[in-house]
A and B are shown apart, each in its own frame.
Chain A
Amino acid sequence: MNYRMKIRVAGYLFITPLIIGFSLFVVLPLIFAVGVSFREWNGLQSLLDTKFVGFGNYAKLFSDPQFQNALLNTCKFVMGMVLGQSLLGLILALALNSVTRGLGLLRSLFFLPSILSVIAVSLLWKSVMYTPSYGAINLILKAFGFSSQPFLQSMEQAMGSIIWMTIWEYAGYYMILFITGLKNIQTDFYESARIDGANKFQEFTKITAPMLKPTILLVLVMNAIGSFQVFGPVFMMTMGGPGRATESVVTLMYNTAFSYSKFSYAVAMAMVLFVIIMLITLVQMHLMREGGLEEY
């Protein structure tokens, strides 16, 4: 075996454990799930005793008003969470980038909510912040002469309330990613731009934003993938209510599988969600593929 072959074999040996793990815990379950989605399984009987329905579950999905509602709600969650978390993360990063004193403390404070348990944060916001009449936010509103708001009890406000809570929780996490991206931009570019008479806005649009494109892509992709799978805050705060106003695809999947014993139908929903997330990720990566230092 020559040297090159040895290097190649060594490389494959190093990644073998990962491939085995990936196959066992991702690929095989995925194949199993696809198989389950073509049957009618209630989660308790043997799969061999279940009826094969082909694409029947998928056909039912596209005419199911509850699934359509859940998908629409999920899209609204994604729009709100991706825009809100990314934008606020970027604003915080830009603001902290020009801070010299207390930077470490401020970064930690903004980052802290993202390491808290989503269950604890959801319950905190539900019980303390959003309670109608005597929740913290309503007390502040009343102090300023505004009327108290129902928040999670209202079909109109429940989704926005959850989105705002997730923005509070995760903006700090994306702020850290943006700070890392900003630190990689050489200061020479800004100096040259100032010499040429560029103002702050021009510096941002002509230097910062283009150079930050890879980071923005990373943030948008991560955020979108996570937001499409929103479950914890919805489950803890509203259980998809009131009136299914906050029911997401994953919440519906959970109830379909475990409350209504329709595992195959729930798996079909998961497959559809998987395809949607994959397509959107591919589109994002295609649109954002240019940019960064090499392009600049």
Chain B
Amino acid sequence: MKKVMCLVLMLLLTCSLVTAGASSAPTELIMWQQWSGDTAQMFNDLVDEYNQTDGATAGIKVTVQQVEDENSEMMMQLMAAKLSDTMPDIIHVAQQNYNAMAINGLFAEPPKDVQDFIKGNYFDANADLAEYNGVYWGYPTENQCMALIYNKQLFADAGIKEPPKTWDELRTDAKLLTKRDSSGELTQCGFIFPFTFSEAMHTQHISMFWGAGDELYPTLTSTNVADETGIKLLELFKGMAGDGSTNANWLNWDDCYNNGKGAMMMMDPWFLKLNIYDKGIEGLYENTGVAFLPTPDGKPGPSMARGFEMTVSSGSKHQDEAWAFLKWLNQKDDKGVSRMQTFMTEKIAFLPSMKGYDMPSLWLPEWRDMYAQILAIAKNQPKLADYDAVQNSIDNMKDNVLLSSADPTEAAKASEAEINAIFAEKG
């Protein structure tokens, strides 16, 4: 009898210990984001701060995992995760895939207070990009808006006082800024195309259409890629490549500007800190200028605004906890500070997406002034349902025109047929 009593007591003790252990373990949340290197480390430090403070109090622990977002890697991983029921709790995704992800049910619908916060606190453009079917699906974390980035020193050396304002000036200046050695080898190109970076190639095309007073996508199911503006734009690019003043068949874009081998390019503001400041040659950061994209008539034209969103996945088994963490990260604390916006502007020098936030303090004052003007007239990224497929078509068209003898009109018409087929399929 005594032995039986002891055994029962031991069993009860073991059960209570196990239960106590289980109940004291924090709720684990997995977050997917696409940064690597120092940026990822800084973000992990911010997440660790949560884990040690509010997270510890709430019994929540967030672990960050890196997933590349280039070439739809994030989309692919999310789809595989959904099929295998292993979705992360929180995801940080590019807005260009947002529509497709929302349509495919990859996001959890945010609580009403989160949606109200998004509508009321972010720039209209950013909040609009977070919206699909009347729901605001995630916190916009940054703003990317393409501008002309140029090397002021190289411009001065070539005797050019100002960056180009018109398409003709762009071509002429690119020629003047090109240098070759005694054997005819290119040593410095005037204009850098972002070959292999299809997102930038597409953004450049959309923005230059707007600058010409036209629309690359007049509706979400039609394209003007082969209209008069489209042909003129391709002829401009082909002319520049034919002049030998670009990096066509030469260095890739990220090697070119950082090493002082290219004078100007059209790129997003993330490039200023993550590439030029962190990886560029000495003096390049201070010698970099920012300007409006050239337009046919020289008047400032809108460029494309877009960014990334942070949201909870539909496969999360801890959605309340995930939203609690995202609120801590993105929403303003009692001092009116958003930790995410502070991280974006002060740590990695990105443009803010939230109202009331200053431009990055790391930026040169002239950049802040210029981006304020650029943002004032920026337009939103088109919410195309099959953004990646359409983007691939535009990128392919430009590669064909710039890197081979393809005729601009034929290339544009081929792309138009392809894009129309994509739109027709999506309905």
Contact = CB atoms under 8 A, between A and B. Distances in A.
Interface residues of A, number: 28
B251 interface: yes
Contacts of B195: 153, 241-242
Contact of B251 (A133, A239, A244, A258): A133
B403 A242 contact: yes
B186 to A, nearest CB: 8
Contacts of A66: 418
A243 B403 contact: yes
A42 interface: yes
Contacts of A147: 183-185
A239 B71 contact: yes
Given A147-B185, A239-B71, A241-B196, A259 B76 contact: yes
Given A66-B418, A259-B388, A155 B404 contact: yes
Given A147-B183, A147-B184, A153-B250, A261 B104 contact: yes
Interface string A28-61: 0000000000000011110000000000000000
A260 interface: yes
A155 B71 contact: no
Interface in B49-64: none
A255 interface: yes
A44 B251 contact: no
B72 A243 contact: no
A150 interface: yes
A44 B103 CA distance: 10
B249 interface: yes
Nearest to A238: B196
Interface string B247-266: 01111100100000000000
Nearest to A157: B249
A154 interface: yes
B396 A243 contact: yes
B389 A242 contact: no
Contact of A260 (B185, B196, B388): B388
Contacts of B249: 132, 150, 153-154
B199 interface: no
Contacts of B396: 241, 243-244
B82 interface: yes
B196 A239 contact: yes
B420 interface: no
A154 B251 CA distance: 11
Contacts, number: 83
Contacts of A260: 386, 388-389
B400 interface: yes
A238 B196 CA distance: 8
Nearest to B397: A243
A244 B394 CA distance: 12
A148 interface: yes
Interface residues of B, number: 36
A258 B67 CA distance: 15
Contact of B79 (A43, A131, A241): A43
A259 B79 CA distance: 10
Contacts of B76: 258-259
A33 to B, nearest CB: 15
Contacts of B184: 147
A42 B385 CA distance: 13
A109 to B, nearest CB: 32
A242 B196 contact: yes
Contacts of B71: 239, 259
A255 B392 CA distance: 10
Given A44-B82, A44-B104, A150-B249, A259 B403 contact: no
Interface in B233-278: 248-252, 255
A259 B183 contact: no
Nearest to B106: A44
Given A44-B82, A243-B404, A244-B396, A259 B389 contact: yes
Contacts of B395: 241
B252 A153 contact: yes
B83 interface: yes
B392 A155 contact: no
Given A44-B104, A258-B76, A261-B100, A241 B82 contact: no
A227 to B, nearest CB: 23
B105 A44 contact: yes
Nearest to A153: B249
B75 interface: yes
B293 to A, nearest CB: 23
A44 B196 CA distance: 28
Interface in B376-427: 386, 388-389, 392, 395-396, 399-400, 403-404, 406, 414, 418
Interface string A132-173: 110000000010000110100111100000000000000000
A241 B248 CA distance: 13
Given A44-B105, A154-B403, A244-B396, A259 B72 contact: yes
Given A155-B400, A155-B404, A244-B396, 18 more contacts: A44-B82, A44-B104, A44-B105, A65-B418, A132-B251, A148-B185, A150-B250, A241-B395, A242-B403, A243-B396, A243-B404, A255-B392, A258-B72, A258-B75, A258-B76, A259-B75, A259-B76, A260-B389
29 contacts: A43-B83, A44-B82, A44-B83, A44-B105, A45-B104, A131-B251, A131-B255, A132-B249, A132-B250, A132-B251, A133-B185, A133-B250, A133-B251, A142-B185, A150-B249, A150-B250, A153-B248, A153-B251, A156-B404, A238-B196, A241-B195, A241-B395, A241-B396, A241-B399, A242-B195, A243-B400, A243-B403, A258-B72, A261-B75
